[in-house]
Amino acid sequence: MKTNILIIGGGACGAALAYFLCRLDRSVSVTVIERDPTYQLASTPRASGGVRRLFSLPENIALSNFSIPFFEDFPELMAIDGTPADIGFKKNGYLFIVPPSQRDMLKENFDTEQSMGCNVVWLEPDALKAKFPSMNVADLGAAVYSPDDGWLDPYSVLMGLRKKAIALGALFVADEVTGFTRTDTAVRSAQLKSGASIRAEQFVNAAGAWAKDLCAMLGFSVPIEPLRRFEHYFECTDPIEPLPYLKDTEKLAFRPEGIGYSGGVPTLHEPRGYNFAADHDYFERVVWPALAHRFPQFEATRCKNTLPGLYDQNDFDGNPIIGPGADGLGNFHLLAGFSGHGLMHAPGSGLALAELLLKGRYETLDLTRLGWQRVVDGKPLPERGII
């Protein structure tokens, strides 16, 4: 079998790339290898679904400035035969809260966001308390609120992208890559578990938390590791005013979900590995104290469900690696290492890499600094403040 572009990994990022490739050039042949079309353990359906413009890195802000309007138009853009692809987008806002020690950094990030056209609001503690009266603000220095941000249903996004890419001509194959043939500078073919072999002109590693395994097959390593995190669903008996998606510097992150809330406290100290075990004590040990400190109503909260999932954690700097060049391979491209922001930035990164693959250059979004070269140079490009 032969294809122009072979994408390995059919999650949100791989499906978004396939969509944009087919939309930009209907003559290009695009094949996506996804070993589990049910997505039982895939990261996308286990994501929290938050989408925000609150970043410090200009590239991440630019990715959000493209991706969030794309999600707003998603039902029409992904419609097939006139049937819209609803993703339950709720534009209920995002809120970053910080202690006095991080006030200056939050302000610098706020200024960057404003300079890039983001609708963001600076809130002093008194104004924050007036807006969200249930919140304990005694230990806070400031907050930034982005009213145009919010959250959506991850699985619906994945299915919408996948179905539209297929409708535009992409071929999704249920199989697993088990090896490659390569030269010093190029990948020639991929071997599949079924025994088939696929030759391609360009290869894309969009395997998320499993991206490092594909690189190992080619004889090199990447700083991307699977990192377990939990998405908890919990309810509260005492009423709280409507809340946005809230994040703080201690990694507490949660949002309203139905009659309850969804979120948790990810930790970078979790051992790396493909671990899907649910630690049912984690909520009581870590999440509940953080919730109860910030909102007294959560003293009586109860966790109803805990869903483990994996980040494709880039331990180099926490940001994605996008594009070619790893181990000298000019036609093997990374689209991984999003460290929890993959769903959020799938549209923007998908378009950017599609342009690079088809036109040889970035046009809409310049993601050059997120390329492999920064790893070679040992120059990380991390987010500052809340990540």
Q: Name the domain boundary from 259, 290, 313.
A: 313
How many domains does one find in the chain?
Answer: 2
Q: What is the largest CA-CA distance in the chain?
A: 65
User: In terms of domains, do 294 and 181 share one?
Assistant: no
Decide the pairing of beta strands 2-8 and 30-33: parallel
User: In terms of domains, do 10 and 146 share one?
Assistant: no
pLDDT value at residue 195:
98
Residue 387 forms part of a structural domain: no
Q: Is the pLDDT of residue 193 over 90?
A: yes
Residue 384 forms part of a structural domain: no
DSSP 338: -
User: In terms of domains, do 71 and 214 share one?
Assistant: yes
User: In terms of domains, do 128 and 250 share one?
Assistant: yes
pLDDT grade, residue 92 (50/70/90)?
very high
User: In terms of domains, do 58 and 115 share one?
Assistant: no
Percentage of the chain modeled with pLDDT above 90? 97
Q: Name the domain boundary from 313, 330, 364.
A: 313
User: In terms of domains, do 110 and 216 share one?
Assistant: no
Q: Please provide residue 211's backbone torsions phi and psi, each rounded to the nearest 5 degrees.
A: -60, -35
Are 381 and 321 contacting, i.e. CB atoms less than 8 angstroms apart? Answer: no
Residue 162 forms part of a structural domain: yes
Residue 382 forms part of a structural domain: no
Residue 89 forms part of a structural domain: no
Residue 298 forms part of a structural domain: yes
User: In terms of domains, do 302 and 159 share one?
Assistant: no
Q: Is the pLDDT of residue 280 over 90?
A: no
pLDDT tens column, 41-79: 999 999 999 999 999 999 999 999 999 999 999 999 999
Q: What is the span of the domain harbouring residue 181?
A: 2-84+153-223+316-377
Q: Is 292 left (phi over 0), alpha (psi -120 to 50) or beta?
A: alpha
Q: Residue 324: which CATH number?
A: 3.50.50.60
User: In terms of domains, do 293 and 233 share one?
Assistant: yes
User: In terms of domains, do 160 and 80 share one?
Assistant: yes
Residue 40 forms part of a structural domain: yes
pLDDT tens column, 205-236: 999 999 999 999 999 999 999 999 999 999 99
User: In terms of domains, do 362 and 236 share one?
Assistant: no
User: In terms of domains, do 173 and 270 share one?
Assistant: no
Average pLDDT, the chain: 97
Residue 76 forms part of a structural domain: yes
Q: How many residues are recorded in the chain?
A: 387
Instruction: Report the sign of the C-alpha dihedral through residues 291, 293, 296, 301, in that order.
Output: positive
Q: Name the domain boundary from 313, 347, 368.
A: 313
Q: Residue 111: which CATH number?
A: 3.30.9.10
